[in-house]
């Protein structure tokens, strides 16, 4: 038996539950209680495409040093699901802990001898106290939370306050929940030697940070960014973004006196209609967006090409999930990079933004609305299930009260009336971006016909080759302009000079940051660049050319970002070493460390091998 | 024939409407459709309807999908913004445009391939949402631009120009529109301007989803014996239920029609529709009986035309969504951005 793991404020707790058993709120309560103790934490829901009955997990990372990505491994497993018993037991670190319901005796063969087993008679306590089957089910979750509160030395008043907040308005539920918490706690204190080697100590390290999901924050960004039209079709993991937009708008977007809505939300019949409505609304001058996932992007392809070619703004939130096809709808990936970057038939390229967390999802949502209007083109906000549906601990959201929406180049009545020349596809300013007019502006000037077929600079139909080429070349110039105004990549240099670099993006950020620290402790130094947008800023090419070898870390099978970088920047693919994680769970720090360390070992050994005959 | 530019000059004595515009101000570029195409007659009817209603052309947005019918918005209302979208998806683009600005008039032009085949879903859903629009299907039962394939409105048993016989049941868009809750449903014939123009005028003034199915023979691919959408077939089998007069005035109803044959309908804006009933047993206010009548006459091989159903106070999508009176595209930071204080409250609620 290895030594029981001892750790203060640095461990992983994982709850294995049955979907639909009411465990989600008890587990969330656990995570929030840790935060209320001033200890940084993050939580990840690993759930099935199912409403009731299939396995679901909730993983909480607790770390004083703000390493809040997935680490890998589990120190404390709360195993409440017999269906997944074997795999849950296997995941525990040697010396780790298992909390399970010991009401029914289990043979010793079902356990491991290198872990610490804590059997709590949860069902027995429950059945003794409650007669209603539903109460028995729900309160069992709170009882194990009570047991944990003693085992980990949690701040009980903090949990009680949270229970009060959770059931505000349903006050009759507060007392029974507090009672259930106490039942579990009392049992643990009386039966066990509390606390364990894993302990929580209050800190003051959470600060003013907030605990939110990316979908909620991005929806709020769309509200702040001035979106008035949302058209969407339900698809996991994006639905909660559109639903959050609805909820935020109901509170923040009513006309004060009439209570009428300063927004319109349509749950469309499919994704084709969603993007069609967004394009129609944006053509007519409203800020509009849709939220979807990979399959939705596939369905929208034709319309996205139209918006690119006809130059109509559109904002598309792609909450990426396991693909291709229906794939793993409730698991995370970064696997739509290529299909979004070149969405549609013909020569197309689109602006992509890669937020790293819910805070950046808020900012990029508003930025995307500005960029789409400025560039008159579709803009994708490339989130994923990990960012979108999990609560992350991030800096508070900020909004500059002086910020004005950038509505881009729109000619108004006065412009037209003064006789200013209008050519819908005419590059007046040399940046590839033409001026547009909105329907209904002027009785005799500025009307034009929007079409997906080719046209000249004045929007007149033509099938002449040179006119087509002229237009396609201007679209490339516009993409150059985009390069200058999209969010720049962020570079972080190692403490020592190094020949190696790493490029990463999106939800990989927290695991990557932890991995860098772990690698540094092993003497491996990497400069890093976090890519935040496509088209690629010149900084990215500079970064690649200034390092001998670059690790490109991403969450898909084929190295899609690597393909995009190689193609667009015309760099030698051999310089870019793919580090790929794509099993549907969020990438872990341990995975990155191992993959990079192994690669470097191979690289270091290579000359030796070459020397051999 | 886009290289043919219409002369701008016109006869000085050309009549003008209340806005001082002539008929010419509602025209578009020269049609590139085949000579004699029914669609051109529909374009002419739209031009006449807008002229007679004295609508400012720039306050109309014309949207279409793909196909011969969807090319026609180029040939009318040259001072209106137009949008030739993708095949079968005009309804969603129009819906979005309408969401952005409720103050414009939306004219959706589509064909039977565009609406009944590839776009059947979007057709159905925009009707059931009650989008305030005039949705015109120029229905010839055939794919013209791709040279003569059957569309989903082609009658079972009708034969194509090259002899193939259609074995699929036809979709009746009028019946669908009735079933899906359109508040204004009519059918007409491209060759019957006297009936079509008032139907378009009344549809424009109607608030809500107005649908007009216009049988429009294809001279190139579907105007031969054996086609149920040819000029001759429709002329011989036309069963007009009523004849519509349209009045913008809000004056008293003219009462010089024999009782029982005149029906007056007041629209939301106070304008009057006066129906001269040809089929005395026809009631345009009853959705269910309209459907029954339609199907009875269809079984008898007749094409029912006229105003088949109207419900003046049905409401529209913006009413259902309870959106503000000002168009959403006119709102700025002051109305849209909740500001830093509410954001601070959001932050506080997530700690």
**Total count of domains within chain A:** 4
Set of chain B residues whose Cβ sits within 8 Å of the Cβ of A231: 92, 96
pLDDT digits (tens, 9 = 90+) for A227-246: 999 999 999 999 999 999 99
Question: Looking at the complex, does the CB of residue B2 fall below 8 Å from at least one CB of chain A?
Answer: yes
State the pairing for strand pair A576-580/A527-530.
unpaired
Q: Of A220, A228, A256, which to mutate for an interface test with B (greatest number of B Cβ within 10 Å)?
A: A228
pLDDT reported for residue B247: 64
Inter-chain residue contact A262 with B323, CB threshold 8 Å = yes
SS3 B214: strand
pLDDT digits (tens, 9 = 90+) for B89-109: 999 999 999 999 999 999 999
Question: Looking at the complex, does the CB of residue A515 fall below 8 Å from at least one CB of chain B?
Answer: no
DSSP structure string for A217-279: HHHHHHHHTT--EEEE---TTTHHHHHHHHHHHHHH-B-TTT--BS-EEEE-SSHHHHHHHHH
> What is the band of A532 on the pLDDT scale with cuts at 50, 70, 90?
very high
Statement to judge: residues A300 and A252 lie in one domain: yes
Identify whether A512 is part of a domain: yes
Identify whether A97 is part of a domain: yes
Q: From the CA of B84, how many Å to the nearest CA of chain A?
A: 5
Domain of A571, CATH number, reads: 3.40.50.920
pLDDT reported for residue A604: 61
pLDDT digits (tens, 9 = 90+) for A68-80: 999 999 999 999 9
Q: Does the pLDDT value for residue B10 go beyond 80?
A: no
- Alpha carbon distance A533, A489 (integer Å): 7
Inter-chain residue contact A401 with B103, CB threshold 8 Å = no
pLDDT digits (tens, 9 = 90+) for B113-141: 999 999 999 999 999 999 999 999 999 88
pLDDT reported for residue B227: 76
Q: From the CA of B131, how many Å to the nearest CA of chain A?
A: 12
Inter-chain residue contact B86 with A452, CB threshold 8 Å = yes
The residue from A427, A444, A475 where one domain ends is A475
Identify whether A85 is part of a domain: yes
Statement to judge: residues A179 and A31 lie in one domain: yes
Identify whether A404 is part of a domain: no
Question: What share of chain A in percent tops pLDDT 90?
Answer: 93
Domain of A390, CATH number, reads: 3.40.50.970
pLDDT reported for residue B235: 83
C-alpha triplet A172, A175, A176: angle, nearest 5°: 95
Statement to judge: residues A132 and A183 lie in one domain: yes
Nearest CA to B220 among B228, B230, B211, B205?
Answer: B230
Statement to judge: residues A377 and A454 lie in one domain: no
Q: Does the pLDDT value for residue A570 go beyond 50?
A: yes
Statement to judge: residues A278 and A362 lie in one domain: yes
Statement to judge: residues A85 and A167 lie in one domain: yes
pLDDT reported for residue B273: 67
Chain A / chain B CB contacts < 8 angstroms: 227
> What is the band of A609 on the pLDDT scale with cuts at 50, 70, 90?
very low
A 280-319 residues with CB < 8 A to B = 280-286, 288, 302-303, 306
Domain of A127, CATH number, reads: 3.40.920.10
Q: From the CA of A551, how many Å to the nearest CA of chain B?
A: 36
Statement to judge: residues A256 and A303 lie in one domain: yes
Inter-chain residue contact A262 with B89, CB threshold 8 Å = no
Q: Does the pLDDT value for residue A155 go beyond 90?
A: yes
Contact A292, A265 (CB under 8 A): no
Identify whether A375 is part of a domain: yes
Q: Does the pLDDT value for residue B259 go beyond 80?
A: no
> What is the band of B50 on the pLDDT scale with cuts at 50, 70, 90?
very high
Set of chain A residues whose Cβ sits within 8 Å of the Cβ of B121: 269-270, 273
- Alpha carbon distance A548, A563 (integer Å): 18
Nearest CA to A531 among A355, A317, A349?
Answer: A355
Statement to judge: residues A43 and A180 lie in one domain: yes
Position with higher pLDDT, A490 vs B300: A490
Q: What ipTM was reported for this prediction?
A: 0.95
CATH of domain B23-325: 3.40.50.970
Residue of B101, B103, B337 with shortest CB distance to A226: B337
> What is the band of B143 on the pLDDT scale with cuts at 50, 70, 90?
confident
Least trusted range by pLDDT, from A432-446, B57-71, B135-149 = B135-149
Identify whether A401 is part of a domain: no
Statement to judge: residues A132 and A65 lie in one domain: yes
Q: Does the pLDDT value for residue A448 go beyond 70?
A: yes
> What is the band of B3 on the pLDDT scale with cuts at 50, 70, 90?
low
Mean pLDDT across the stretch A466-483? 98
pLDDT reported for residue A610: 47
Identify whether A70 is part of a domain: yes
Q: Does the pLDDT value for residue B275 go beyond 70?
A: no
* Highest mean pLDDT pick, A120-124, B142-146, B160-164: A120-124
pLDDT reported for residue A612: 46
Mean pLDDT across the stretch A265-291? 98
SS3 A161: helix
Domain hosting A459: range is: 413-475
Inter-chain residue contact B342 with A460, CB threshold 8 Å = no
Residue of B79, B85, B97 with shortest CB distance to A444: B79
């Amino acid at each position: 038996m290895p030594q029981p793991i001892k750790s203060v404020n640095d461990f992983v707790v994982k709850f294995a539950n049955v979907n639909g058993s009411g465990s989600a709120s008890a587990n969330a309560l656990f995570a929030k209680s840790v935060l209320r103790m001033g200890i940084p934490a993050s939580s990840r829901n690993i759930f099935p495409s199912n409403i009731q009955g299939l396995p679901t997990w909730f993983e909480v990372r607790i770390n004083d040093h703000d390493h809040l990505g997935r680490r890998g491994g589990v120190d404390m497993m709360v195993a409440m699901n017999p269906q997944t018993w074997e795999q849950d037991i296997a995941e525990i670190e040697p010396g780790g802990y298992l909390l399970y319901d010991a009401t029914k005796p289990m043979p010793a063969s079902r356990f491991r001898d290198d872990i610490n087993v804590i059997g709590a008679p949860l069902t027995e306590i429950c059945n003794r106290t409650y007669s209603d089957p539903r109460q028995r089910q729900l309160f069992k979750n709170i009882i194990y939370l009570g047991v944990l509160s003693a085992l980990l030395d949690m701040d009980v008043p903090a949990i009680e306050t949270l229970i009060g907040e959770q059931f505000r308005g349903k006050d009759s539920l507060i007392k029974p929940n507090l009672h259930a918490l106490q039942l579990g706690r009392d049992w643990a204190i009386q039966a066990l030697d509390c606390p364990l080697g894993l302990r929580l100590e209050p800190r003051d390290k959470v600060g003013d940070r907030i605990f939110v999901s990316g979908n909620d924050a991005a929806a709020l960004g769309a509200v702040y960014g001035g979106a008035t039209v949302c058209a969407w079709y339900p698809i996991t993991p994006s639905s909660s973004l559109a639903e959050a937009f609805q909820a935020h708008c109901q509170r923040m977007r009513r006309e004060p006196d009439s209570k009428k809505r300063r927004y319109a939300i349509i749950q469309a019949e499919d994704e084709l209609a969603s993007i069609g409505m967004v394009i129609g609304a944006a053509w007519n001058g409203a800020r509009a967006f849709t939220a979807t996932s990979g399959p939705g992007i596939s369905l929208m392809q034709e319309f996205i090409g139209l918006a690119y070619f006809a130059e109509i703004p559109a904002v598309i939130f792609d909450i990426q999930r396991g693909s291709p096809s229906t794939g793993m709808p409730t698991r995370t990936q970064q696997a739509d990079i290529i299909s979004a970057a070149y969405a549609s038939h013909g020569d197309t390229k689109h602006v992509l933004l890669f937020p790293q967390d819910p805070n950046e999802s808020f900012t990029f949502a508003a930025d995307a609305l500005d960029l789409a209007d400025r560039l008159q083109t579709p803009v994708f906000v490339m989130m994923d299930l990990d960012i979108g549906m999990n609560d992350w601990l991030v800096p508070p959201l900020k909004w500059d009260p002086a910020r004005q929406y950038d509505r881009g180049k729109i000619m108004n009545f006065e412009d037209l009336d003064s006789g200013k020349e209008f050519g819908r596809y005419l590059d007046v300013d040399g940046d590839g971006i033409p001026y547009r007019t909105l329907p209904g502006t002027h009785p005799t000037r500025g009307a034009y016909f929007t079409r997906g077929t080719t046209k000249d600079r004045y929007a007149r139909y033509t099938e002449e080759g040179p006119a087509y080429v002229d237009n396609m070349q201007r679209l490339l110039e516009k993409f150059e302009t985009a390069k200058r105004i999209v969010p720049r990549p962020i570079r972080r240099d190692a403490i020592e000079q190094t020949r190696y670099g790493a490029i990463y993006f999106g939800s990989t950020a927290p695991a990557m940051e932890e991995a860098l620290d772990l690698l540094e402790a092993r003497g491996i130094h990497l400069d890093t660049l976090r890519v935040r947008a496509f088209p690629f800023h010149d900084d990215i090419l500079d970064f690649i050319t200034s390092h001998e070898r670059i690790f490109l870390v991403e969450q898909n099978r084929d190295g899609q970002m690597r393909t995009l970088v190689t193609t667009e920047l015309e760099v030698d693919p051999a310089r870019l070493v793919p580090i790929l994680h794509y099993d549907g769970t969020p990438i872990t720090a341990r995975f990155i460390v191992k993959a990079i360390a192994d690669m470097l070992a191979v690289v270091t050994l290579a000359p030796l091998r070459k020397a051999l005959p | 024939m886009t290289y043919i530019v219409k002369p701008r000059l016109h006869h000085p004595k050309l009549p003008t409407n209340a806005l001082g515009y002539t008929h010419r101000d509602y025209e578009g570029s020269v049609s590139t459709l085949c000579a004699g195409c029914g669609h051109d007659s529909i374009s002419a009817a739209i031009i006449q309807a807008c002229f007679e209603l004295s609508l400012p052309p720039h306050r109309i947005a014309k949207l279409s999908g793909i196909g011969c019918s969807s090319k026609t918005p180029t040939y009318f209302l040259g001072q209106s913004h137009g949008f030739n979208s993708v095949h079968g998806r005009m309804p969603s683009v129009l819906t979005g445009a309408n969401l952005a600005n409720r103050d414009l008039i939306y004219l959706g032009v589509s064909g039977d391939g565009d609406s009944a085949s590839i776009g059947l879903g979007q057709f159905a859903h925009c009707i059931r949402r009650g989008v305030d629009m005039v949705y015109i299907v120029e229905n010839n039962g055939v794919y013209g631009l791709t040279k003569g394939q059957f569309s989903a409105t082609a009658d079972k048993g009708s034969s194509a120009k090259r002899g193939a016989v259609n074995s699929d049941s036809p979709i009746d868009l009028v019946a669908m529109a009735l079933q899906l809750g359109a508040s204004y449903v009519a059918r007409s014939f491209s060759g019957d301007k006297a009936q079509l123009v008032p139907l378009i005028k009344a549809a424009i003034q109607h608030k809500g989803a107005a649908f007009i199915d216009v049988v429009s023979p294809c001279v190139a691919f579907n105007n031969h014996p054996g086609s149920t959408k040819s000029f001759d077939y429709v002329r011989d089998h036309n069963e007009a239920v009523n004849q519509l007069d349209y009045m913008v005035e809000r004056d008293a109803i003219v009462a010089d029609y024999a009782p029982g044959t005149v029906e007056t309908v007041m629209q939301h804006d106070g304008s009057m529709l006066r129906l001269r009933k040809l089929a005395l047993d026809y009631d345009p206010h009853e959705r269910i009986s309209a459907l029954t009548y339609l199907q009875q006459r269809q079984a008898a091989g007749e094409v029912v035309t006229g105003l088949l159903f109207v419900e003046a106070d049905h409401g529209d999508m913006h009413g259902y969504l309870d959106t503000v009176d000002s168009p959403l595209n006119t709102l700025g930071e002051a109305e849209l951005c909740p500001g830093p204080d509410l954001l601070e409250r959001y932050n506080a609620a997530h700690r």
